[in-house]
Structure 1
């Protein structure tokens, strides 16, 4: 390796030295590269194998690489969903001593996909809406901590399945800046960037015949504005009511918890007459159900997945009349007798298909579907066998997805139901 290579990393991995940093990224050999789907980027991005996991490498300027590395580390400390920064590589030179661009190295987020790879043929309206809703939640979380993104888009986001919905993770923080707080103008500017970028990305899919004909790109992109404003108002808006309606304080907290947010501080004020009360959340933090599940079971899941697992835990508690027992003891019992046996029942060659929590969520819905169809309470073991054979085997791996497949298979699943609890038939790819 020519030159005096410089590696800045919070955690030392000597295997970084074995990668061909003296070659431009587009010339790296195939035995190093991991063939994963990636989104659109203004810089060259490629995936590579490193010490048993996969990393993403982006060639950029030294200034941008160091700035984005520091920003991603800061966002991680603030518990924002984003990719994990691994290292910054500078002072790269080729065999002739000519300088090469610096590189930012991040860890590939397992079970995540760029929006273009979620479906290999067409992006359906309901899927596009869920992606936009997930991005709206991420944008709200970023704005709450004072982060101005500056380049909000589906392309700069990774998505993981989260109990029938999606969770969004920030990928590209190159244009981001962190302030003490954001003005309304800054928030609206980010929101307008998101609206325009999303419309352009969906129109691009439409041009390639990868968008459902019933989907209106402009309407979907406008959806992020509505979703964002609704959530922002719920999380930060003040509320006034009569002093006799103090129950509305608990109602507000419960509503925020249901959305997946915790309140660290709640400002409560009364007027001079004492007849009216005004409340406003001061500090709002996401992950209410995640933290409860982690505390009770040690399982680290997405917010919607955690809510679903906790619902099953509550159902287990009620079914076996364990309401009077210690909550943590019952949770340990549920983990050992319900969750872990299901995870162990998944064949080894299928474990890369989905995260265990997502498998559990889909299995519960599949069991419900079977019970409805057969008008009987289907045993869990029978449901597991059916789910593995009819659904899970036909999914592509999402732990490390190689080139998107082109074939489709239509199978009945119960991961999505309408308001009347009617099963929707979907095409899995």
Structure 2
């Protein structure tokens, strides 16, 4: 059978990779050394034409299936890695391969750790994973192998955003059943308990973290979020402000309410309120619409806060918000990023850099007893913080 690459190829040179060799034996000059999570398959990162791809060796049947599932998730705008192609017809005895685009600035959970996994870092990872699983279930996707190892994390202001990286066991349905949903949670509990025990055995788990309690925590976090998004709420007819409170709580969780279903409870004067359609990315969409910046949700919230502060400081309360956003980009955001040396600018994405500069400015101003200004904050951040940070982007050499 002849070699065949099937997919939406944007890089024809992918066919020039040494597909006749087992992935574990590929020459180093094709590969990029990036942090890898634990996988039952051989996974390597290859650089082609200035782009980094993740390549997984897997049977032909599962390569085709996972490729299709990842495209389904992409169409649903679910947080997952981007499928590129699958490769069949390699030399005899070699499995097929699945190609996905490397998610820049993303890290497997082990790479997020510094020394040992601190309780507050673990809490943020679990929050991100719970949001990911809820978002998948809302679009009818059954994961079947939810774990920290099958997830990539990107820094999102002070939190993390989680992305599915392994859809091999997934199933797409018009609507997920209660049994599938609970089984997914049960698998997540078991997997995370095992991962925590593994970290503990390797001396990488903080002494205050209990493996079983951590596994219980992800279940509890998931159920709280799912309930907030889907449970009926009974309110008195006159308490309409409670409807607004419900919407605000959902927005703070990163979800937008596209429609509310309100119906009267038979035989009473009460109303039943339930979010009928929910989607994630309330702040992301507003920032993208105003500025063209495509960021994570918490980054978008932080940048919008700064934009809104700029509006007030410049006396632009009554100006069109699109005009204000254009001025903020030109006068605040872009000059801040440009002031950072190019070789250091590649360590983090621009939205994260801006967020960290704002944080640094706040700490400096607290110590100084007054605002130190953005210029001084940028210089201090570069000299004292950024130079010591690891590079979280795949550095591509032409």
TM-score band, normalised by the shorter chain? over 0.9
Superposed CA RMSD in Å reads: 1.4
Instruction: Determine which of 58, 72, 75 is the counterpart of 1:60.
Output: 58
Unaligned stretches of 5+ in structure 2?
A: none
Which of 261, 271, 275 does residue 269 from structure 2 map onto? 275
Specify the alignment match of 1:398 in structure 2: 392
Tell me the CA shift for residue 121 of structure 1.
Answer: 2.0
What are the superposed Cα offsets for residues 212-270 of structure 1, whole Å, 9 maximum, x if unpaired? 12221221221111111111011111111111111222221222122211122211112
1:196-345 equivalent positions in 2, closer than 5 A: 196-272=190-266, 275-345=269-339
Q: Is residue 125 of structure 1 aligned with residue 119 of structure 2?
A: yes
1:28 to 23, 26, 34: 26
SS in 2 for 1:219: helix
Conservation of the 8 A alpha-carbon contact between 1:37 and 1:401: no
Q: Which runs of 4+ in 1 moved over 3 A?
A: 271-274
Work out the CA distance in 2 between the residues paired with 1:354 and 1:218.
34
Distance in 1 (alpha carbons) for counterparts of 2:300 and 2:10 = 32
Match of 2:362 among 353, 357, 368: 368
* Match of residue 380, structure 1, among 356, 370, 374: 374
Deviation at 1:141, TM superposition (A): 0.3
CA contact (8 A) 1:159 1:169 kept: yes
Query: Any residues of structure 2 matched to 1:101-180 within 5 Å, and which?
Result: 101-180=95-174
SS in 2 for 1:234: helix
Aligned residue for 2:89? 91
Once residues 385 and 218 of structure 1 are traced to their aligned partners in structure 2, the CA distance between those partners, rounded to angstroms, is 44
Query: Is the partner of 2:129 in helix, strand or coil?
Result: helix
SS of residue matched to 1:100: coil
Shift of 1:274: 7.0
Unaligned runs of 5+ in 1: 403-429
The whole-number CA distance in structure 2 between the counterparts of 1:315 and 1:222 is: 40
1:36/1:401 contact within 8 Å kept = no
CA distance in 1, matches of 2:265, 2:207: 54
Give the aligned length: 396
Relative to structure 1, is the Cα distance of residues 248 and 121 closer, same or farther in structure 2, using a 3 angstrom cutoff? same
Distance 2:247 2:276 in 1: 12
TM-score (norm 1): 0.90
